[in-house]
Each structure stands twice: as C-alpha cells, then as structure tokens.
Amino acid sequence: MTSLYLKKLLDVAGRKEVNSITRYIASFRMQPEKNTAIAQIWQKTIHDKKGCSSRAFCTKVIKEKTKKKNAKETFESVGRRIPYNKIQLIDENGEDMGEMHRINVLRIMDERGMNLVLLSEKTDPPKYGLMTGKQIYEERLKIRDEKASPKAGLVQQKIIKMSTVTEQHDFSTKVKQIQEWIDKKHHVKIMLRQKTISDGPEKMLTFFDKILDTMREKATYHSMPSIAAEGRSTCILRHLSKKEIQKLNLVEKNKDTQKENGSNITDSDVTKQ
C-alpha cells in the first residue's frame, strides 16, 4: 500500500516538473526578442527554416560562397598530374605534336625539362602544352594585362549650344568645355544659332571654323557644318586619330623646314648683292 502511494506521488511530481519546464520554455516565446539574449536565439531558431539562425551556425555555406568569390583562374603548370590517358600535345614552339599517351608525354617532359600546362579541356582529347617557366610567367602577365585593360565602349556625344553673337568671355568658356570633351575622346555636337538671319549662312560656317582653329592640333570635323533650319546649323567635332596626328606633325615639320630654307636663300641673296 505504501509503495503504491509513493508511486502515485512520483507520477504527480514528474507531471508537475514537465509542466513547469514547458511553461518556462513557452515564456520565451511570449517575451519580446530584445528582452534577453536567450530569447533572441530562441526566436531565430524557431523562424529559421533552414536551421541556420545566424552566421555562427552557417559557416559551411559562408565558406563556400567566399571560396567561389575569391576563386581566380590561374595559368600554371599541372606538374605530372595528367588525368587523361591520351592528350593532344603542343610543344614549346607552338607546333602540334599530335595525340599522345600520357606516359610518352611525361617522358618528353623529362627529356626537354619542360613544364606541362593545360590549354583547353573542351577539345577531344584535351589540349596540353609544353612551356618553360619564362613562357608561363609571360602568359600570366598577358592575362593580367587583358583583365586590367578597359573594354572599349560606345563613343559618347556631348551637345553644346552657341550663338554667333556670343561674347568673348562666354565664347572662351564654351570652347574650353569643348576642348575638355575632345581630350576625353568624346564627340561634340555644336548647335549654332544665328541671331540675324539676313547675314546668311556664311557667318555661321565661319564661326565653326573659328571654334576649330582653337584646337586644330587635336580635333577635326566628324560631321561637316550643315544648315539644320533657317538661322540654325550644326556640326560634330571629334578627336584626331593617331595617324592623323602623325600626318599633321609631319606637315608642320615640312613647313618649318621650308621656312628655314627660304630664310637661308634670302640671306644668301642679300650677301651676293
């Protein structure tokens, strides 16, 4: 009888303990997230479907993302690790040695003292090349320079509006702006308005030449001056190409030479007299 009574007491005590633990845990759900650190962790654990409540519990995912982000294509020797039975081999001079078994490739590497580099896995069989350490270094520099070089984009066109009666100060300011755009290899569209239409289009065309004369050494017409409407005309300026600059410098040099020769002839004539 006594043992039965003790058993009932233990059962009641056990149920009360379980209920108290359940109420204690449930109290965290009712509390705001910012009350305690334990409550915050509990709430995050409940609402996180993936089971990763914070970065501390997701180190594997973060490491994989970081690895992909920091992954870089490298150009380096594969050593003696050739995972294919047969490969296409290119020698150090760029000549195709044809399809070879990897044992023969290793033998040639040892005989010539060369490194083996993977060139392409997309071919069948994969393409490998024999290279010296210097050649590998030069290829790395070439790849780095290609990545660093900016990609050629579309030429930007800037627009500026002017008038034939523009004052000298405003004219100088706008010409300076045009020169800055030309230095950046932009095309500059000049929209010119003539206040007095009775002056005719010749005044507008002369005005365009006046603008171009301030930068003949670096700019030229991309689109020749044309009449857009009565009292309005447009043209487009661009930067000179390298060949055009070389030709211009050559012409200027010839002019200087002719002037020097002309002055020498004049001096000799004066001496004879």
Q: Do the Cβ atoms of 129 and 117 come closer than 8 Å?
A: yes
Q: In CATH, what number is assigned to the domain containing residue 142?
A: 3.10.20.80
- 215 and 179 in a single domain? The answer is yes
- 196 and 214 in a single domain? The answer is yes
Q: Which residue from 233, 188, 186 is spatially nearest to 212, judged by alpha carbons?
A: 188
- 230 and 177 in a single domain? The answer is yes
- What integer pLDDT is reported at residue 66 of this predicted model? 46
Domain membership of residue 104 (yes or no) is yes
How many secondary structure helices (H) and strands (E) does the chain include? 8, 8
Q: What is the pTM of this model?
A: 0.41
Domain membership of residue 55 (yes or no) is no
- What integer pLDDT is reported at residue 214 of this predicted model? 92
- What integer pLDDT is reported at residue 61 of this predicted model? 44
- 105 and 165 in a single domain? The answer is no
Cα-Cα-Cα-Cα dihedral of 60, 64, 65, 70, to 10°? 140
Domain membership of residue 32 (yes or no) is no
Range of the domain at 115: 86-148
Domain membership of residue 93 (yes or no) is yes
Residue that terminates a domain, selected from 148, 165, 189 = 148
- 101 and 179 in a single domain? The answer is no
Structural domain count, the chain: 2
Domain membership of residue 16 (yes or no) is no
Gap between the Cα atoms of 34 and 193, Å rounded: 68
- 130 and 171 in a single domain? The answer is no
Domain membership of residue 226 (yes or no) is yes
- 172 and 215 in a single domain? The answer is yes
Q: Which amino acid is at 216?
A: R
Domain membership of residue 65 (yes or no) is no
- 164 and 241 in a single domain? The answer is yes
Averaged over successive runs of 10 residues, the pLDDT of the chain (273 residues) comes to 66 63 58 55 58 44 45 70 89 87 90 89 89 87 72 78 88 93 92 77 85 91 86 90 87 78 47 36
Residue that terminates a domain, selected from 148, 166, 195 = 148
Domain membership of residue 7 (yes or no) is no
